[in-house]
C-alpha cells in the first residue's frame, strides 16, 4: 500500500488559477480577502479557515468541505514527516 498523495492547498489553487487564466489578486477579490492573505494561503504560510473555504468553494465551483479537507489532510501529513 502507498499513502494517498498529499499536497499543499496552494498547489491546487495555482492549478485552478492557471486553468481559468485568473490572477491571485482576482481570486482574492472574489474570495473577499486581501491579496497578501491569498498569497500566504498559496505559499502554505496561512491555513484555509471555514470562511475562506466557503468563499473559495463559491468562486471555484467546489464544496467548502473540499477546501477544509485539503487543509486538514495537508496538516496531518505535515505532522507525520
The three-state secondary structure class of 14 is helix
At 11-65, the pLDDT tens digits run: 999 999 999 999 999 999 999 999 999 999 999 899 999 999 999 999 999 999 9
Between residues 42 and 81, the one the model is more confident about = 42
pLDDT at 4 (0 to 100): 65
Q: Give the chain's end-to-end CA distance (angstroms, integer).
A: 18
Report CA-CA distances (Å) from 30 to 11, 12, 25, 71.
19, 17, 9, 20
pLDDT at 2 (0 to 100): 57
pLDDT at 6 (0 to 100): 75
For CA atoms 73, 47, 38, 50, give the dihedral sign: positive
pLDDT at 78 (0 to 100): 79
Amino acid at each position: 500500500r502507498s499513502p494517498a498523495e498529499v499536497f499543499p492547498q496552494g498547489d491546487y489553487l495555482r492549478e485552478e488559477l492557471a486553468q481559468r487564466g485568473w490572477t491571485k489578486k482576482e481570486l482574492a477579490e472574489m474570495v473577499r480577502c486581501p491579496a497578501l492573505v491569498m498569497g500566504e494561503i498559496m505559499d502554505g504560510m496561512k491555513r484555509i479557515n471555514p470562511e475562506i473555504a466557503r468563499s473559495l468553494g463559491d468562486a471555484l465551483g467546489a464544496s467548502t468541505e473540499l477546501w477544509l479537507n485539503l487543509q486538514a489532510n495537508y496538516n496531518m501529513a505535515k505532522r507525520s514527516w
